Structure 1
Amino acid sequence: MEKESARPSISMRDKMSNWKTQALEAHKRKPISQWILLLSSVGAMLVAFPASSLLSRVYYANGGTSKWIISWVAVAGWPLTALILLPTYFFCKTFPTPLTLKLILSYIVLGFLSAADNLMYAYAYAYLPASTASLLASSSLVFSALCGYFIVKNKLNASMINAIVIITVAITIIALDSDSDRYDYVSDHQYIMGFIWDILGSALHGLIFALSELVFIKLLGKRSFHVVLEQQVMVSFFGFVFTTIGVIVNKDFQGIKSEAKNFEGGEVSYILVLVWGTITFQLGLLGGTAVLYLASTVLAGVLNAVRVPLTSIAAVILLHDPMSGFKILSLITTFWGFGSYIYGNSSSSKASSS
């Protein structure tokens, strides 16, 4: 009897020893420089993305009105990624991926969809508190999973389906509590439209994610760091082109001067919000790209899960967003859903590799 009771402790000790050994081996396989880059990328995702979302809300809260300008800000930083891409050709001894007609057309389509996606999110942040918009945007995971299943033929297991249901419930909870966080200057119609645009933007984001994966599978065939950067640069560039056309047609560039004068905090604050919005959004994308390459999609999923509550909490602290009991419940439910999806994705990855 004594021997049998001792088995669980020995088994747990063995497991802890195996985990320690695996961690040390993983650490030895990667140089210190790579660990520093990974930690920097993680920091970029957890700081830059929430900061970008908060700056969009600050723009509208302080007198900004243009949806096209905020959409333009999201893609105007594409030269930053290009500046990081160019040295990889010299120091990593890689060559630019040949541009075929199909590849160019795919970048154009993804760029157009990206421009439309940014515009939808701009409408959402114009009418919704940042905490609410962030929670609703977490539904992009649901649409990414569904689009990946139907378009790329990715597998869905029970944990992933459970996550889809849980996140859908979290969104429903926010919808039931829609009156608690609506700004006084936002009408019921505008709030509802902000809610709808956020969900539509999340759906389109999921489609873009699946189509990007399809491009890698069908046209590129490899997922090295410089190839991922190339796709990001090209998609952001075409998104920038389409958005710039929209800004010009809507004559929003002409309105920047008067908008800056009426901006609460003055012209300098207005310029800083737009410039830092451009930088933080691009840094978030770069951080996500590096995490995918240096670590795994599972870690990227974990960080995406973490940045949702970070954005909501930061919005409550910095922007004084209302936080009702229903919204707290939705936040907890969303985090639970992300955890379930990450577990399911991890199990699916292990099953496919074995």
Structure 2
Amino acid sequence: MEAAEAAVEAPVPSESFTDQISKYKTMMIAAYKSKPIPYWILLILGIIAMVVAFPASSILSRVYYENGGQSKWIISWVAVAGWPLIAVILFPTYFITKTFPTPLNLKLFLSYIVLGFLSAADNLMYAYAYAYLPASTAALVASSSLVFSALFGYILVKNRMNASIINALFVITAGLTIIALDSSSDRYDNITDKQYIMGLVWDVLASALHGLIFALSELIFVKLLGRRSFIVVLEQQIMVSLFAFLFTSIGTFVSGDFQGMTSEATSFKGGKSAYYQVLIWGAITFELGVLGATAVIFLASTVLAGVLNAIRTPITSIAAVILLHDPMSGFKILSLVITFWGFGSYIYGSSMDDKQS
């Protein structure tokens, strides 16, 4: 009897660090073997696109303004001018997978028009933000889109919210508040206090609209499409981008900014070549980021996309400090840490929901 009790009370030996490493190594090898090599190649390319292309696009937007660019319409137009890149991916996919395009009914068509208009407005708001704010600050404030995505997703799509997600919303909001209170430390000399405040306001509004667009896109999948695949998402992306491109092109033409591109290019630091390179690469990098995010979500998970989205915020901020010499105050560093913490809490909460479902 005593021997049995001793056996029960005997402590279970904990795994050594070497055993844990070996266990994770075995799991990684098993995961690698469970998917074909092309899958991993596409996933890696998607990850690289997210963590490189999106920050590059943000940096290029700020480079445009720092070197003499003035137009908000031009930058918002650049954000959607790369939409043909999606077509280059989509059309061959039809032949490879032997599938047909999704039938386009009136409701779906109108939803694409609405999303296209909202996307055009969203890009214009972000253009104002990058015109008045340092790239590092704009990127940090834009991370608040996660808060609005969660809120609109809860209201419109009935997505679940647990304690970790709610905690993330409060933490990210706290980081945003710190940025707002520290506005005097990173304002450019040629930017007035009013312009800086308006930059913050436009950035928050754009983030809110971005969150709404994300929720509405998910609602379209639930209500109108009823299925979600890589091809269907590309179809939605190309249609929304096309209408956003049309709306933005009209706005850019009516504002006279298209006509003013020649004179703006002439006065641009570095000349016309540098001007058009900034715009062209801005369009390419933004669209590559979109394609990368789409690939990550459907090859891996939304949680991984959330992790990468969290990573690209500090990457953008650090790149802006190094390349554009953005001021980095102690408050901004604190905001960056808090925001990263908020992302981590959100990712943990989302992963818990995925496991429960």
How far apart, CA to CA, are the structure 2 residues paired with 1:183 and 1:159? 36
Equivalent position to 2:164, from 156, 159, 164:
159
Q: How does 1:152-191 map to 2 (within 5 A)?
A: 152-191=157-196
How far apart, CA to CA, are the structure 1 residues paired with 2:347 and 2:16? 26
Q: Does 1:210 align with 2:209?
A: no
1:226-256: CA deviation from partner (whole Å, max 9, x where unpaired): 1110010000000000000100110111100
How far apart, CA to CA, are the structure 1 residues paired with 2:220 and 2:201? 28
Question: Where in structure 2 are there 5+ consecutive unaligned residues?
Answer: 1-5
For these two proteins, the number of residue pairs brought into alignment is 352
1:276-324: CA deviation from partner (whole Å, max 9, x where unpaired): 0000000000000000110000000000000000000000000000000
How far apart, CA to CA, are the structure 1 residues paired with 2:9 and 2:142? 50
Equivalent position to 1:25, from 30, 37, 56:
30
* Matched position secondary structure for 1:7: coil
1:143-187: CA deviation from partner (whole Å, max 9, x where unpaired): 000000000000000000000000000001011110000011101
Q: Does 1:253 align with 2:258?
A: yes
Shift of 1:87: 0.3
Partner residue, 1:68: 73
* Matched position secondary structure for 2:147: helix
Given the two structures, how large is their TM-score scaled by the length of structure 1?
A: 0.96
Partner residue, 2:96: 91
Equivalent position to 2:200, from 195, 203, 208:
195
1:39-92: CA deviation from partner (whole Å, max 9, x where unpaired): 011000000000000000000000000000000000010001011100011011
What percent of counterpart residues are identical? Answer: 72
Given the two structures, how large is their TM-score scaled by the length of structure 2?
A: 0.96
Cα distance change, pair 220–260 in 1 and its aligned pair in 2 (3 A): same
| Letter in structure 1 aligned against 2:345 | S
* Matched position secondary structure for 2:109: helix
How far apart, CA to CA, are the structure 2 residues paired with 1:60 and 1:284? 21
How far apart, CA to CA, are the structure 2 residues paired with 1:194 and 1:224? 37
Q: Does 1:317 align with 2:332?
A: no
How far apart, CA to CA, are the structure 1 residues paired with 2:274 and 2:204? 30
How far apart, CA to CA, are the structure 2 residues paired with 1:320 and 1:3? 63
| Letter in structure 1 aligned against 2:74 | I
